[in-house]
Amino acid sequence: MKSIVRASLAIIAISAILMYVVSLLEDTSSAGGDGTINVYNWGEYIDPELVSQFEEETGITVIYETFDSNEAMMTKVEQGGTSYDVAMPSEYAIERMKESDLLHPINLNRITNLENIDPYFLDLPFDPGNEYSIPYFWGTVGIAFNPSLLDGQTFESWDDLWDPSLEQEVILVDSAREVIGMGLNSLGYSLNSTDMGELREATDKLKTLGPNVKAIIGDEIVEMMRREEAAVALTWSGQAADMMWINENIDFSVPEEGSNLWFDNMIIPKTADNIDGAHEFINFMLDAEVAAQNADYVGYSTPNQAAMELMDPEVTGDERFYPTEEMRERLEVYENLGLEMLGIYNELFLEFKMDMEK
Amino acid sequence: MERQAMKSNSTNPFYLVPYYLWIILFVITPIALVTYFSFFDISGNLTLDNYRNFFSSVYLRLTLSSFWYAFLITLISLLVAYPTAYWLTKTKHKNLWLLLIIIPSWINLLLKAYAFIGIFGLYGPANNLLASIGSERLQILFTDFSFIFVSVYIFIPFMVLPIFNSLDRINPALIDASRDLGASSWTTFTRVIFPLAINGVKAGIQVVFIPALSLFVITRLIAGNKVITLGTAIEQQFLVTQNWGMGSTIAVFLILFMIIIMMITGEKGGTLNGKVK
């Protein structure tokens, strides 16, 4: 008993010392003290140096948290536990958040750097007039592959994934809309289909992909491809860029039948505490130099025209990551299909995982 | 008066308050809430659809496959843990060995899972070993084998402990008596040691089987979602689909399955064992 008491006291003492040290460290990092902002973003989706730069320039302390799906983000914003001041959801999530009245309108007069953004990415159907959202990054869904591990296969068509030579080589991203959408696209249907017949056909076709599927995972895909554990992956363009950054053998292709074109945007949730700080942060991220540095670091495509002029033309001229407007024609943006349809997509995805042919 | 005071002193109901509070707040309320939510559909209407949906083929097969994998994990854990626990009771430095077995369970599950991604990788130590003895590199990660191996590894301490405790408590005089009366070692084991330690085995089975039904981190990281359990389905319903009703319904069934398992391996079995002799 005595020793337990002694051990507990020691633990409490050590915790107290650690807390003190942490508070010292935090003090030195916030120079001015214009409060704090909570930023809620996807994992590996910002250059951490820029966060420090923002803190230095404005004196605002940034508390940074990450999420791994739009749905998880919305659930947390809705529950309210933490009041996030800025978040970066995708377009269909913004539609849904608008419907559920979770967004705070953005005062565009305060976003002076908005002029840096390519007009193509402004005033899009999911948020006319950019009342609630400011573009952050955009990209596509496609196939990352490593030709050095393959016998010359190319991926011009989704059906190439079904090639018998790819047994146990294909990694899929663990996300219902991407995978079911790929099944729909491969049959020539829209990836926003709500037709049960089409969805059933797509799911049945996906099941036959089973023998080629190595795994269905999340962010671990990048590591797997970098280390050449797998040769082919269905993934987002920026994840592919991450892989290619480390492993130069990897290539990326968006199949001809069409695919998904997505936009991630900065928003201010209704529950935000520091509206001023949020506006400052958004405006800071749109600065040409900041956006260029961020795009270099993250690897996704920036909608910031002024930043593109500062970047390596080899990067911004790469049509795999910056497809021309003409190429974007055959890509589709996700529509908000409603919770019920999302439930059906997920149930079909679950069925696919269970019934994959071995 | 005096008598009453003495009585309340010996069983002061006040001491039970923290216990009841705990039970009400952290056991009864959550179960009641889960049951309550299970009767609502995605748009908040009162309905039994979730239960009907559970009996559709997808969820039934999901349940069956969860049970199958949980069964395999429990069986293999038992096969490894029983001899280990038996051997532990015979060693000199029991507590040291026991500690060595328990220490891995202090490390976070996620860390262990990530470590195994490295170990089982195509170019990881396991495959390097295979390559060094001239075998081909095998796909170990994302297979049934890796899933069961890692799960067993994680659960083994929880199986060893209760079995060790009940084996260690057996009075050695009983074993000596059995041998003196002419029983072979095998008979001594099957007729004396095994029945006396059966409660440890049952406790071990409970502690392993029940969590094994709802594993979901390992199914993704180690099995690459090619094995899916009820836990995966619950996580998805809550976080992705935001269908709390369906998620709760699956959770209700999981609770029911757990109660059934507790009943099978619980007290009743203990008395049955008393009759065997």
- pLDDT (0 to 100) of residue A304: 95
Q: B17 lies in a domain?
A: no
Q: B29 lies in a domain?
A: no
H or E stretch covering B165: helix B144-168
For residue A146, which phi and psi values (nearest 5 degrees)?
Answer: -115, 95
Q: Six-digit token pair at A182?
A: 């790929």
**Measured between beta carbons, which residues in chain A are less than 8 angstroms from residue B232?**
350
ipTM of the complex: 0.83
- pLDDT (0 to 100) of residue B115: 93
For A19, the domain range is 1-30
Q: Six-digit token pair at A203?
A: 């799911």
The CATH number of residue A308's host domain is 3.40.190.10
Q: What is the CA radius of gyration of chain B?
A: 24
Distances (CA, A) of B129 to B126, B136, B145: 5, 10, 17
> Residue A88 pLDDT more than 90?
yes
User: CB A217 to CB B139 under 8 A?
Assistant: no
DSSP characters for A250-311?
-EEE--TT-EEEEEEEEEEETT-S-HHHHHHHHHHHHSHHHHHHHHHHH-SBP-BHHHHHHS
pLDDT, tens digit, for every residue of A186-215? 999 999 999 999 999 999 999 999 999 999
Is there a single domain that holds both residue A144 and residue A226?
A: yes
pTM (predicted TM-score): 0.83
> Residue A31 pLDDT more than 50?
no
pLDDT, tens digit, for every residue of B11-23? 678 888 999 999 9
> Residue B276 pLDDT more than 50?
no
Among A70, A346, A351, the residue to mutate for chain B (most B Cβ within 10 A): A346
Q: B97 lies in a domain?
A: yes
State whether residue A72 sits within 8 Å of chain B by CB: yes
Overall average pLDDT of the A129-137 stretch: 95
pLDDT, tens digit, for every residue of A290-335? 999 999 998 899 999 999 999 999 889 998 899 988 888 889 999 8
Is there a single domain that holds both residue A331 and residue A249?
A: yes
Are A87 and A40 in contact by the 8 Å Cβ rule? The answer is yes
Is there a single domain that holds both residue A245 and residue A294?
A: no
Calculate how close chain A gets to B176, using CA atoms only, in Å.
37
> Residue B121 pLDDT more than 50?
yes
Is there a single domain that holds both residue A23 and residue A44?
A: no
Overall average pLDDT of the B189-216 stretch: 91
Apex A149 CA angle, A143 and A154, nearest 5: 40
User: CB B122 to CB A229 under 8 A?
Assistant: yes
Identity of the residue numbered B5: A
Say which residue the tokens 């953004």 belong to. Answer: A117
Q: How far apart are CA A302 and CA B85, in angstroms?
A: 60
Give how many domains chain B has, as a whole number.
1
The CATH number of residue B146's host domain is 1.10.3720.10
**Measured between beta carbons, which residues in chain B are less than 8 angstroms from residue A69?**
239-240
pLDDT band at residue A26 under the 50/70/90 scheme: low
Overall average pLDDT of the A238-245 stretch: 89
Q: B47 lies in a domain?
A: no
- pLDDT (0 to 100) of residue A340: 87
Overall average pLDDT of the A148-156 stretch: 91
State whether residue B44 sits within 8 Å of chain A by CB: no
In this predicted model, which residue has the larger pLDDT, B2 or B208? B208
Q: Six-digit token pair at B112?
A: 């262990």
Q: Six-digit token pair at B79?
A: 């096969």
Closest residue, chain A, to B243 (C-alpha): A343
Overall average pLDDT of the A7-15 stretch: 87
> Residue A29 pLDDT more than 90?
no
- pLDDT (0 to 100) of residue B202: 93
pLDDT band at residue B271 under the 50/70/90 scheme: very low
Q: B32 lies in a domain?
A: no
Q: Six-digit token pair at A251?
A: 């290539």
Calculate how close chain A gets to B90, using CA atoms only, in Å.
29
Calculate how close chain A gets to B121, using CA atoms only, in Å.
7
Q: How far apart are CA B129 and CA B246, in angstroms?
A: 46
Give how many domains chain A has, as a whole number.
3
In the stretch 57-96 of chain B, residues with CB closer than 8 A to chain A read 58, 61-62, 65
- pLDDT (0 to 100) of residue B1: 44
Report the Cα B76 to chain-centroid distance in Å.
12
Is there a single domain that holds both residue A184 and residue A206?
A: yes
- pLDDT (0 to 100) of residue B239: 81
Q: How far apart are CA A200 and CA A287, in angstroms?
A: 46
A248, A209, A212: which is closest to A230 by C-alpha? A212
- pLDDT (0 to 100) of residue B9: 53
For B75, the domain range is 59-276
Calculate how close chain A gets to B145, using CA atoms only, in Å.
14
Calculate how close chain A gets to B242, using CA atoms only, in Å.
8
**Measured between beta carbons, which residues in chain A are less than 8 angstroms from residue B122?**
227-229
B201, B175, B171: which is closest to B186 by C-alpha? B175
Calculate how close chain B gets to A16, using CA atoms only, in Å.
23
Of A18-22, B251-255, B268-272, which gets the smallest average pLDDT?
A: B268-272
Per-residue burial over A304-314, b if 16 or more Cβ lie within 10 Å, else e, is bbbbbeebeee
Is there a single domain that holds both residue A350 and residue A334?
A: yes
Is there a single domain that holds both residue A121 and residue A55?
A: yes
State whether residue B39 sits within 8 Å of chain A by CB: no
Average pLDDT taken over every residue of chain B? 88
Strands A86-87, A232-236: pairing is unpaired
Q: How far apart are CA A341 and CA A348, in angstroms?
A: 11
Is there a single domain that holds both residue A47 and residue A25?
A: no
Is there a single domain that holds both residue A255 and residue A337?
A: yes
State whether residue A99 sits within 8 Å of chain B by CB: no
Is there a single domain that holds both residue A150 and residue A253?
A: yes
Among B49, B60, B239, the residue to mutate for chain A (most A Cβ within 10 A): B239
> Residue B143 pLDDT more than 50?
yes
> Residue A280 pLDDT more than 90?
yes
Q: B87 lies in a domain?
A: yes
Overall average pLDDT of the B114-143 stretch: 91
- pLDDT (0 to 100) of residue B57: 81
State whether residue B128 sits within 8 Å of chain A by CB: no
In this predicted model, which residue has the larger pLDDT, B102 or A25? B102
Total CB pairs under 8 A between chain A and B: 82
A284, A268, A270, A301: which is closest to A111 by C-alpha? A284
**Measured between beta carbons, which residues in chain B are less than 8 angstroms from residue A176?**
240
Closest residue, chain B, to A348 (C-alpha): B58
Among B116, B241, B249, the residue to mutate for chain A (most A Cβ within 10 A): B241
Average pLDDT taken over every residue of chain A? 90
**Measured between beta carbons, which residues in chain B are less than 8 angstroms from residue A229?**
121-123, 141
Percent of chain A with pLDDT over 70: 97
pLDDT, tens digit, for every residue of A54-63? 999 999 999 9
Is there a single domain that holds both residue A338 and residue A190?
A: yes
Strands A259-269, A103-104: pairing is antiparallel
Among A353, A356, A357, the residue to mutate for chain B (most B Cβ within 10 A): A353
> Residue B111 pLDDT more than 80?
yes
State whether residue A88 sits within 8 Å of chain B by CB: no
- pLDDT (0 to 100) of residue A34: 65
